[in-house]
Protein backbone atom coordinates (compact mmCIF):
# COMPACT_ATOMS: atom_id res chain seq x y z
CA UNK A 1 0.00 0.00 0.00
CA UNK A 2 1.49 3.36 -0.93
CA UNK A 3 2.02 5.75 1.95
CA UNK A 4 -0.22 8.68 1.67
CA UNK A 5 1.61 11.61 0.41
CA UNK A 6 -1.25 13.98 0.75
CA UNK A 7 -1.75 17.39 2.19
CA UNK A 8 -3.65 16.25 5.29
CA UNK A 9 -0.46 16.37 7.38
CA UNK A 10 -0.19 20.12 7.02
CA UNK A 11 -2.45 22.94 8.20
CA UNK A 12 -4.56 25.06 5.84
CA UNK A 13 -2.28 28.01 6.52
CA UNK A 14 0.77 25.96 5.61
CA UNK A 15 -0.98 24.91 2.44
CA UNK A 16 -1.90 28.50 1.66
CA UNK A 17 -5.66 27.87 1.50
CA UNK A 18 -7.47 31.00 2.63
CA UNK A 19 -10.85 30.90 0.82
CA UNK A 20 -13.69 28.34 0.62
CA UNK A 21 -12.79 27.82 -3.05
CA UNK A 22 -9.25 26.98 -2.18
CA UNK A 23 -10.50 24.61 0.51
CA UNK A 24 -12.77 22.93 -2.04
CA UNK A 25 -9.82 22.63 -4.41
CA UNK A 26 -7.72 20.96 -1.68
CA UNK A 27 -10.52 18.50 -0.91
CA UNK A 28 -10.92 17.57 -4.54
CA UNK A 29 -7.20 16.74 -4.67
CA UNK A 30 -7.58 14.53 -1.63
CA UNK A 31 -10.63 12.82 -3.16
CA UNK A 32 -8.74 12.16 -6.38
CA UNK A 33 -5.96 10.59 -4.33
CA UNK A 34 -8.47 8.35 -2.58
CA UNK A 35 -10.27 7.38 -5.79
CA UNK A 36 -6.96 6.49 -7.33
CA UNK A 37 -5.99 4.18 -4.47
CA UNK A 38 -9.44 2.61 -4.11
CA UNK A 39 -9.57 1.82 -7.84
CA UNK A 40 -6.61 -0.53 -7.64
CA UNK A 41 -7.09 -4.28 -7.52
CA UNK A 42 -7.60 -5.23 -3.88
CA UNK A 43 -7.50 -8.40 -1.88
CA UNK A 44 -8.64 -8.71 1.73
CA UNK A 45 -5.23 -7.60 3.07
CA UNK A 46 -4.76 -4.56 0.82
CA UNK A 47 -8.38 -3.52 1.40
CA UNK A 48 -7.72 -3.55 5.15
CA UNK A 49 -4.56 -1.48 4.67
CA UNK A 50 -6.44 1.07 2.54
CA UNK A 51 -9.09 1.35 5.21
CA UNK A 52 -6.45 1.96 7.88
CA UNK A 53 -4.71 4.66 5.84
CA UNK A 54 -7.94 6.58 5.36
CA UNK A 55 -10.07 5.90 8.40
CA UNK A 56 -7.49 4.80 11.00
CA UNK A 57 -8.46 6.37 14.31
CA UNK A 58 -5.07 7.86 15.23
CA UNK A 59 -3.44 8.82 11.98
CA UNK A 60 -5.89 8.04 9.21
CA UNK A 61 -6.31 10.77 6.62
CA UNK A 62 -9.79 11.67 7.91
CA UNK A 63 -8.45 12.09 11.41
CA UNK A 64 -5.52 14.18 10.19
CA UNK A 65 -7.85 16.47 8.26
CA UNK A 66 -10.05 16.85 11.29
CA UNK A 67 -7.01 17.69 13.47
CA UNK A 68 -5.02 19.78 11.04
CA UNK A 69 -7.67 21.46 8.90
CA UNK A 70 -10.98 21.54 10.72
CA UNK A 71 -10.01 22.19 14.32
CA UNK A 72 -7.60 25.09 13.70
CA UNK A 73 -9.68 26.59 10.84
CA UNK A 74 -10.58 30.25 10.96
CA UNK A 75 -14.30 30.95 11.59
CA UNK A 76 -14.72 31.97 7.90
CA UNK A 77 -13.41 28.64 6.63
CA UNK A 78 -14.73 26.30 9.30
CA UNK A 79 -18.09 25.77 7.63
CA UNK A 80 -16.59 25.06 4.21
CA UNK A 81 -14.05 22.62 5.72
CA UNK A 82 -16.78 20.92 7.75
CA UNK A 83 -19.00 20.42 4.71
CA UNK A 84 -16.21 19.18 2.49
CA UNK A 85 -14.94 16.85 5.22
CA UNK A 86 -18.39 15.30 5.61
CA UNK A 87 -18.58 14.75 1.87
CA UNK A 88 -15.15 13.16 1.87
CA UNK A 89 -16.05 10.90 4.83
CA UNK A 90 -19.24 9.74 3.13
CA UNK A 91 -17.37 9.00 -0.08
CA UNK A 92 -14.54 7.15 1.68
CA UNK A 93 -16.93 5.06 3.72
CA UNK A 94 -19.28 4.14 0.90
CA UNK A 95 -16.43 3.34 -1.48
CA UNK A 96 -14.67 1.19 1.13
CA UNK A 97 -17.92 -0.64 1.76
CA UNK A 98 -18.51 -1.27 -1.94
CA UNK A 99 -14.95 -2.45 -2.49
CA UNK A 100 -15.23 -4.75 0.50
CA UNK A 101 -18.09 -6.61 -1.18
CA UNK A 102 -16.05 -6.94 -4.42
CA UNK A 103 -13.07 -8.26 -2.53
CA UNK A 104 -15.12 -10.77 -0.57
CA UNK A 105 -16.96 -12.15 -3.54
CA UNK A 106 -13.71 -12.43 -5.48
CA UNK A 107 -12.10 -14.36 -2.61
CA UNK A 108 -15.14 -16.63 -2.33
CA UNK A 109 -15.08 -17.28 -6.04
CA UNK A 110 -11.38 -18.20 -5.93
CA UNK A 111 -11.95 -20.61 -3.02
CA UNK A 112 -14.91 -22.35 -4.59
CA UNK A 113 -13.15 -22.65 -7.95
CA UNK A 114 -10.45 -24.60 -6.15
CA UNK A 115 -12.99 -27.08 -4.73
CA UNK A 116 -15.06 -27.46 -7.82
CA UNK A 117 -14.28 -30.48 -9.97
CA UNK A 118 -14.46 -30.14 -13.70
CA UNK A 119 -16.28 -33.34 -14.59
CA UNK A 120 -15.43 -32.95 -18.25
CA UNK A 121 -11.67 -33.38 -17.64
CA UNK A 122 -10.19 -36.81 -18.37
CA UNK A 123 -9.70 -38.89 -15.20
CA UNK A 124 -6.43 -40.07 -13.68
CA UNK A 125 -5.67 -43.53 -15.00
CA UNK A 126 -4.21 -45.66 -12.25
CA UNK A 127 -2.50 -48.79 -13.55
CA UNK A 128 -4.06 -51.96 -12.18
CA UNK A 129 -1.56 -54.53 -10.94
CA UNK A 130 -1.64 -58.21 -11.76
CA UNK A 131 -0.08 -61.29 -10.30
CA UNK A 132 3.52 -61.86 -11.30
CA UNK A 133 3.88 -64.68 -13.82
CA UNK A 134 5.59 -66.85 -11.21
CA UNK A 135 2.61 -66.39 -8.89
CA UNK A 136 0.26 -67.24 -11.76
CA UNK A 137 2.14 -70.45 -12.52
CA UNK A 138 2.10 -71.39 -8.82
CA UNK A 139 -1.65 -70.95 -8.93
CA UNK A 140 -2.05 -73.07 -12.09
CA UNK A 141 -0.06 -75.88 -10.55
CA UNK A 142 -1.81 -75.63 -7.21
CA UNK A 143 -5.19 -75.82 -8.93
CA UNK A 144 -4.20 -78.99 -10.79
CA UNK A 145 -3.10 -80.68 -7.57
CA UNK A 146 -6.13 -79.41 -5.64
CA UNK A 147 -8.29 -81.18 -8.21
CA UNK A 148 -6.78 -84.53 -7.21
CA UNK A 149 -6.92 -84.12 -3.47
CA UNK A 150 -3.68 -82.39 -2.51
CA UNK A 151 -3.56 -79.43 -0.16
CA UNK A 152 -0.99 -76.68 0.35
CA UNK A 153 1.44 -76.45 3.26
CA UNK A 154 4.30 -74.03 3.72
CA UNK A 155 7.55 -74.03 5.62
CA UNK A 156 10.29 -71.65 6.71
CA UNK A 157 12.84 -70.24 4.27
CA UNK A 158 15.46 -70.26 7.02
CA UNK A 159 16.19 -73.87 7.87
CA UNK A 160 18.38 -76.01 10.05
CA UNK A 161 20.79 -78.44 8.40
CA UNK A 162 18.77 -81.20 10.04
CA UNK A 163 15.62 -80.49 8.00
CA UNK A 164 17.41 -79.34 4.86
CA UNK A 165 19.83 -82.28 4.76
CA UNK A 166 20.08 -84.89 7.52
CA UNK A 167 16.44 -85.90 7.83
CA UNK A 168 16.32 -86.14 4.04
CA UNK A 169 18.97 -88.81 4.27
CA UNK A 170 21.82 -86.45 3.37
CA UNK A 171 24.40 -86.88 6.15
CA UNK A 172 27.04 -84.29 6.81
CA UNK A 173 29.71 -85.50 4.41
CA UNK A 174 27.41 -86.73 1.68
CA UNK A 175 28.72 -85.53 -1.70
CA UNK A 176 25.29 -84.25 -2.70
CA UNK A 177 25.78 -81.36 -0.30
CA UNK A 178 28.43 -80.02 -2.65
CA UNK A 179 25.78 -79.31 -5.29
CA UNK A 180 23.49 -77.74 -2.82
CA UNK A 181 25.70 -75.75 -0.50
CA UNK A 182 24.06 -72.54 0.15
CA UNK A 183 23.88 -69.40 2.18
CA UNK A 184 24.61 -70.02 5.83
CA UNK A 185 23.47 -67.29 8.16
CA UNK A 186 25.95 -65.30 10.16
CA UNK A 187 24.59 -65.63 13.68
CA UNK A 188 25.35 -63.72 16.87
CA UNK A 189 27.90 -65.48 19.10
CA UNK A 190 26.23 -68.10 21.29
CA UNK A 191 23.05 -68.27 19.18
CA UNK A 192 21.92 -71.80 18.37
CA UNK A 193 22.87 -72.72 14.84
CA UNK A 194 23.93 -73.20 12.18
CA UNK A 195 21.04 -71.93 10.06
CA UNK A 196 20.81 -71.68 6.31
CA UNK A 197 18.50 -70.50 3.55
CA UNK A 198 16.76 -73.67 2.39
CA UNK A 199 18.19 -75.08 -0.83
CA UNK A 200 14.94 -76.83 -1.74
CA UNK A 201 11.36 -77.20 -0.50
CA UNK A 202 12.00 -80.84 0.48
CA UNK A 203 12.54 -80.03 4.20
CA UNK A 204 8.79 -79.37 4.40
CA UNK A 205 8.25 -83.08 3.64
CA UNK A 206 9.86 -83.80 7.00
CA UNK A 207 8.08 -81.00 8.84
CA UNK A 208 4.75 -82.25 7.48
CA UNK A 209 5.31 -85.91 8.33
CA UNK A 210 6.44 -84.94 11.84
CA UNK A 211 3.07 -83.29 12.38
CA UNK A 212 0.67 -85.55 10.49
CA UNK A 213 -0.01 -89.23 10.22
CA UNK A 214 -0.71 -90.78 6.82
CA UNK A 215 -2.54 -90.30 4.55
CA UNK A 216 -0.55 -87.24 3.52
CA UNK A 217 -1.11 -85.46 0.20
CA UNK A 218 0.51 -82.06 0.16
CA UNK A 219 2.22 -79.63 -2.13
CA UNK A 220 4.65 -77.01 -0.87
CA UNK A 221 5.13 -73.86 -2.93
CA UNK A 222 7.97 -71.56 -1.97
CA UNK A 223 11.27 -69.82 -2.51
CA UNK A 224 14.60 -71.63 -2.37
CA UNK A 225 18.17 -70.34 -2.39
CA UNK A 226 21.45 -71.61 -3.79
CA UNK A 227 24.91 -70.23 -4.12
CA UNK A 228 24.65 -70.09 -7.92
CA UNK A 229 25.99 -67.35 -10.11
CA UNK A 230 23.21 -65.67 -12.08
CA UNK A 231 22.89 -66.50 -15.78
CA UNK A 232 20.03 -67.27 -18.17
CA UNK A 233 19.07 -70.44 -16.28
CA UNK A 234 20.42 -69.80 -12.76
CA UNK A 235 19.43 -67.46 -9.99
CA UNK A 236 20.48 -67.42 -6.34
CA UNK A 237 16.77 -67.47 -5.49
CA UNK A 238 14.13 -69.40 -7.39
CA UNK A 239 10.85 -71.21 -6.79
CA UNK A 240 9.79 -74.79 -6.30
CA UNK A 241 6.71 -76.80 -5.57
CA UNK A 242 7.40 -79.88 -3.55
CA UNK A 243 4.90 -82.71 -3.63
CA UNK A 244 4.45 -85.54 -1.16
CA UNK A 245 1.92 -88.35 -1.04
CA UNK A 246 2.21 -91.03 1.62
CA UNK A 247 -0.38 -93.67 2.42
CA UNK A 248 -0.68 -97.36 3.16
CA UNK A 249 -0.99 -98.49 -0.43
CA UNK A 250 0.69 -96.06 -2.78
CA UNK A 251 2.35 -97.73 -5.73
CA UNK A 252 4.83 -96.73 -8.39
CA UNK A 253 1.87 -96.67 -10.81
CA UNK A 254 0.03 -94.14 -8.66
CA UNK A 255 3.20 -92.10 -8.74
CA UNK A 256 3.79 -92.04 -12.50
CA UNK A 257 0.06 -91.72 -13.19
CA UNK A 258 -0.16 -88.64 -10.97
CA UNK A 259 2.84 -86.99 -12.60
CA UNK A 260 1.58 -87.81 -16.08
CA UNK A 261 -1.81 -86.31 -15.20
CA UNK A 262 -0.18 -83.16 -13.88
CA UNK A 263 2.11 -82.66 -16.88
CA UNK A 264 -0.76 -83.14 -19.35
CA UNK A 265 -2.97 -80.72 -17.44
CA UNK A 266 -0.17 -78.16 -17.40
CA UNK A 267 1.18 -78.43 -20.95
CA UNK A 268 -1.85 -79.88 -22.76
CA UNK A 269 -3.20 -83.36 -23.48
CA UNK A 270 -1.02 -83.81 -26.55
CA UNK A 271 2.30 -84.02 -24.68
CA UNK A 272 3.91 -87.28 -23.69
CA UNK A 273 5.88 -87.95 -20.54
CA UNK A 274 8.65 -90.35 -19.74
CA UNK A 275 10.90 -90.98 -16.77
CA UNK A 276 14.54 -91.93 -16.54
CA UNK A 277 16.47 -93.33 -13.59
CA UNK A 278 18.13 -90.69 -11.47
CA UNK A 279 19.43 -90.25 -7.97
CA UNK A 280 18.22 -88.36 -4.93
CA UNK A 281 19.18 -89.41 -1.41
CA UNK A 282 15.58 -89.16 -0.17
CA UNK A 283 13.88 -91.24 -2.88
CA UNK A 284 14.36 -94.82 -3.97
CA UNK A 285 13.98 -95.37 -6.81
CA UNK A 286 14.58 -91.84 -8.05
CA UNK A 287 13.60 -90.61 -11.46
CA UNK A 288 13.80 -87.60 -13.69
CA UNK A 289 10.62 -86.74 -15.57
CA UNK A 290 10.78 -85.51 -19.16
CA UNK A 291 8.05 -84.03 -21.35
CA UNK A 292 7.95 -84.37 -25.13
CA UNK A 293 9.41 -81.12 -26.48
CA UNK A 294 6.71 -78.47 -26.29
CA UNK A 295 8.42 -76.37 -28.98
CA UNK A 296 8.73 -78.92 -31.80
CA UNK A 297 5.84 -81.16 -30.75
CA UNK A 298 8.27 -83.91 -29.84
CA UNK A 299 9.53 -84.25 -33.40
CA UNK A 300 13.04 -82.92 -32.79
CA UNK A 301 12.66 -80.79 -35.91
CA UNK A 302 12.00 -77.06 -35.80
CA UNK A 303 9.13 -75.60 -37.84
CA UNK A 304 11.73 -74.00 -40.09
CA UNK A 305 13.04 -77.47 -40.93
CA UNK A 306 16.32 -77.59 -38.97
CA UNK A 307 17.00 -79.28 -35.65
CA UNK A 308 14.81 -77.96 -32.81
CA UNK A 309 16.99 -75.59 -30.83
CA UNK A 310 15.10 -76.14 -27.58
CA UNK A 311 15.41 -79.93 -27.25
CA UNK A 312 18.49 -80.00 -29.51
CA UNK A 313 16.79 -82.65 -31.60
CA UNK A 314 16.40 -85.01 -28.64
CA UNK A 315 12.59 -84.69 -28.74
CA UNK A 316 12.44 -84.52 -24.91
CA UNK A 317 12.83 -81.80 -22.35
CA UNK A 318 13.87 -82.53 -18.81
CA UNK A 319 11.24 -81.37 -16.32
CA UNK A 320 11.94 -82.26 -12.71
CA UNK A 321 13.10 -84.87 -10.20
CA UNK A 322 10.88 -87.24 -8.27
CA UNK A 323 10.74 -90.72 -6.80
CA UNK A 324 9.33 -93.10 -4.25
CA UNK A 325 10.09 -91.87 -0.73
CA UNK A 326 13.21 -93.65 0.57
CA UNK A 327 12.28 -95.84 3.56
CA UNK A 328 15.21 -94.30 5.44
CA UNK A 329 13.34 -90.98 5.47
CA UNK A 330 10.39 -92.55 7.31
CA UNK A 331 12.80 -93.43 10.07
CA UNK A 332 13.31 -89.73 10.81
CA UNK A 333 9.61 -89.05 11.26
CA UNK A 334 8.44 -92.17 13.07
CA UNK A 335 6.51 -93.62 10.16
CA UNK A 336 6.69 -97.38 9.83
CA UNK A 337 8.33 -98.09 6.44
CA UNK A 338 6.72 -101.53 6.41
CA UNK A 339 3.26 -100.03 6.57
CA UNK A 340 3.49 -96.93 4.42
CA UNK A 341 4.75 -96.00 1.01
CA UNK A 342 4.65 -92.85 -1.04
CA UNK A 343 6.13 -90.61 -3.65
CA UNK A 344 7.65 -87.15 -3.78
CA UNK A 345 8.57 -84.64 -6.43
CA UNK A 346 10.24 -81.26 -6.67
CA UNK A 347 9.15 -78.99 -9.51
CA UNK A 348 11.19 -75.93 -10.48
CA UNK A 349 8.53 -73.28 -11.09
CA UNK A 350 10.71 -70.79 -12.91
CA UNK A 351 11.84 -73.50 -15.31
CA UNK A 352 8.27 -74.65 -16.00
CA UNK A 353 7.12 -71.07 -16.54
CA UNK A 354 9.97 -70.51 -18.99
CA UNK A 355 9.05 -73.63 -20.95
CA UNK A 356 5.34 -72.93 -21.03
CA UNK A 357 5.60 -69.24 -21.89
CA UNK A 358 8.72 -69.34 -24.08
CA UNK A 359 10.91 -67.19 -21.84
CA UNK A 360 14.62 -67.72 -22.37
CA UNK A 361 16.14 -65.81 -19.46
CA UNK A 362 15.24 -66.58 -15.85
CA UNK A 363 16.52 -63.14 -14.84
CA UNK A 364 13.51 -61.55 -16.57
CA UNK A 365 11.38 -62.75 -13.65
CA UNK A 366 13.34 -60.74 -11.13
CA UNK A 367 14.13 -57.52 -12.97
CA UNK A 368 10.66 -56.01 -12.50
CA UNK A 369 10.61 -54.57 -15.99
CA UNK A 370 6.95 -53.70 -16.52
CA UNK A 371 7.32 -54.20 -20.28
CA UNK A 372 7.95 -57.86 -19.47
CA UNK A 373 5.41 -58.16 -16.67
CA UNK A 374 2.61 -56.56 -18.72
CA UNK A 375 2.81 -59.40 -21.23
CA UNK A 376 1.28 -61.70 -18.62
CA UNK A 377 -1.79 -59.83 -17.40
N1 LIG B 1 14.79 -81.34 -3.77
C2 LIG B 1 15.29 -81.64 -5.10
C3 LIG B 1 16.10 -80.47 -5.64
O4 LIG B 1 15.84 -79.39 -5.24
C5 LIG B 1 14.16 -81.92 -6.05
C6 LIG B 1 13.45 -83.17 -5.72
C7 LIG B 1 13.79 -84.33 -6.32
C8 LIG B 1 12.43 -83.17 -4.81
C9 LIG B 1 13.16 -85.52 -6.04
C10 LIG B 1 11.76 -84.33 -4.51
C11 LIG B 1 12.15 -85.51 -5.14
O12 LIG B 1 10.78 -84.39 -3.64
O13 LIG B 1 11.50 -86.65 -4.85
O14 LIG B 1 16.95 -80.67 -6.45
| pLDDT, mean of residues 146-173 | 95
Query: What is the pLDDT, as a whole number, of residue 299?
Result: 92
Does the residue 2 lie in any domain?
no
Rounded to 5°, angle at Cα 200 from 224 and 144: 90
Q: How far is ligand 1, taken at its centre, from the CA of residue 321, in Å?
A: 5
**Shortest-distance atom of ligand 1 to CA 283:** 13
Does the residue 305 lie in any domain?
yes
Which of 54, 77, 112 is the C-terminal boundary of a domain? 112
**Shortest-distance atom of ligand 1 to CA 200:** 4
Query: Probe ligand 1: pick from 176, 204, 282, max atoms within 8 Å of CB?
Result: 282
**Shortest-distance atom of ligand 1 to CA 325:** 13
Structure confidence by residue, pLDDT tens digits, 63-85: 999 999 999 988 888 999 999 99
Q: How far is ligand 1, taken at its centre, from the CA of residue 270, in Å?
A: 26
Phi-psi region of 279 (alpha: psi -120 to 50; beta: other; left: phi over 0): beta
Does the residue 81 lie in any domain?
yes
Per the prediction, the chain carries an average pLDDT of 92
Q: Whose CA is nearest to atom 4 of ligand 1?
A: 200
Looking only at the bridges linking them, the beta strands covering 151-152 and 216-225 are parallel
Q: How far is ligand 1, taken at its centre, from the CA of residue 154, in Å?
A: 16
Query: Among 349, 363, 154, which Cα is nearest to 266's?
Result: 349
Q: How far is ligand 1, taken at its centre, from the CA of residue 79, in Å?
A: 114
* pTM passes above 0.75: no
Q: Whose CA is nearest to atom 8 of ligand 1?
A: 346
Q: In the predicted model, is pLDDT for residue 289 greater than 50?
A: yes
Query: 223 and 347, same structural domain?
Result: yes
Does the residue 181 lie in any domain?
yes
Q: In the predicted model, is pLDDT for residue 1 greater than 60?
A: no
Can you tell me the distance from the alpha carbon of 332 to that of 210, in angstroms, rounded to the nearest whole number?
A: 8
Does the residue 289 lie in any domain?
yes
Q: In the predicted model, is pLDDT for residue 115 greater than 90?
A: no
Which of 82, 112, 142 is the C-terminal boundary of a domain? 112
Can you tell me the distance from the alpha carbon of 265 to that of 140, in angstroms, rounded to the nearest whole number?
A: 9
Residues 6+ apart with CB under 8 A from 80: 20, 23, 24
Query: 169 and 53, same structural domain?
Result: no
Pocket of ligand 1 (CB under 6 A): 200, 202, 242, 280, 283, 321-323, 344-346
Q: In the predicted model, is pLDDT for residue 183 greater than 50?
A: yes
From residue 169, alpha-carbon distances to 117, 174, 176, 200, 324 in Å are: 69, 9, 10, 14, 14
**Shortest-distance atom of ligand 1 to CA 202:** 1
Query: What is the pLDDT, as a whole number, of residue 4?
Result: 47
Does the residue 312 lie in any domain?
yes
Q: How far is ligand 1, taken at its centre, from the CA of residue 347, in Å?
A: 7
| pLDDT, mean of residues 154-180 | 90
Query: 85 and 156, same structural domain?
Result: no
| pLDDT, mean of residues 326-331 | 97
Q: Whose CA is nearest to atom 3 of ligand 1?
A: 200
Which of 83, 112, 141 is the C-terminal boundary of a domain? 112
**Shortest-distance atom of ligand 1 to CA 343:** 13
| pLDDT, mean of residues 157-161 | 96
Q: In the predicted model, is pLDDT for residue 156 greater than 70?
A: yes
From residue 16, alpha-carbon distances to 76, 77, 148 in Å are: 15, 13, 113
Q: Whose CA is nearest to atom 2 of ligand 1?
A: 346
Query: 291 and 162, same structural domain?
Result: yes
Q: In the predicted model, is pLDDT for residue 2 greater than 60?
A: no
Does the residue 323 lie in any domain?
yes
DSSP per-residue string spanning 49-70 = HHHHHHH-TTT-HHHHHIIIII
Query: 188 and 63, same structural domain?
Result: no
Q: How far is ligand 1, taken at its centre, from the CA of residue 356, in Å?
A: 21
Structure confidence by residue, pLDDT tens digits, 224-234: 999 989 899 99
Q: Whose CA is nearest to atom 12 of ligand 1?
A: 345
Q: What's the domain count of the chain?
A: 2
Structure confidence by residue, pLDDT tens digits, 334-352: 999 999 999 999 999 999 9
Does the residue 123 lie in any domain?
no
Query: What is the pLDDT, as a whole number, of residue 3?
Result: 46
> Cis link prior to 220 (omega < 30° from 0)?
no
Query: 98 and 220, same structural domain?
Result: no
Rounded to 5°, angle at Cα 83 from 77 and 87: 140
Q: How far is ligand 1, taken at its centre, from the CA of residue 149, in Å?
A: 21
Q: How far is ligand 1, taken at its centre, from the CA of residue 29, in Å?
A: 102
Q: Which domain, by its residues, includes 250?
A: 133-373
Can you tell me the distance from the alpha carbon of 110 to that of 88, in angstroms, rounded to the nearest whole number?
A: 33
Structure confidence by residue, pLDDT tens digits, 212-228: 999 999 999 999 999 98
Q: How far is ligand 1, taken at its centre, from the CA of residue 230, in Å?
A: 21
Confidence of residue 5 (pLDDT cuts 50, 70, 90): low
Query: 179 and 85, same structural domain?
Result: no
Amino acid sequence: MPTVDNPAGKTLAELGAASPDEVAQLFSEVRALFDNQAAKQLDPATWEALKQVWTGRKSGVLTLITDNWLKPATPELKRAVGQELNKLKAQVESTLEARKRDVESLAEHAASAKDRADLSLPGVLRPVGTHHLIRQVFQEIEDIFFSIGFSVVEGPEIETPYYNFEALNIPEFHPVRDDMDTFYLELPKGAPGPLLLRTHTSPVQIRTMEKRQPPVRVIVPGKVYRRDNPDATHSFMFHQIEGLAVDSDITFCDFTGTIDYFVKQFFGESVKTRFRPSYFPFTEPSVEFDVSCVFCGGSGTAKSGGTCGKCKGSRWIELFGAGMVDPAVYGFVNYDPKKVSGFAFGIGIDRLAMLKYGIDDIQAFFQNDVRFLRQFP
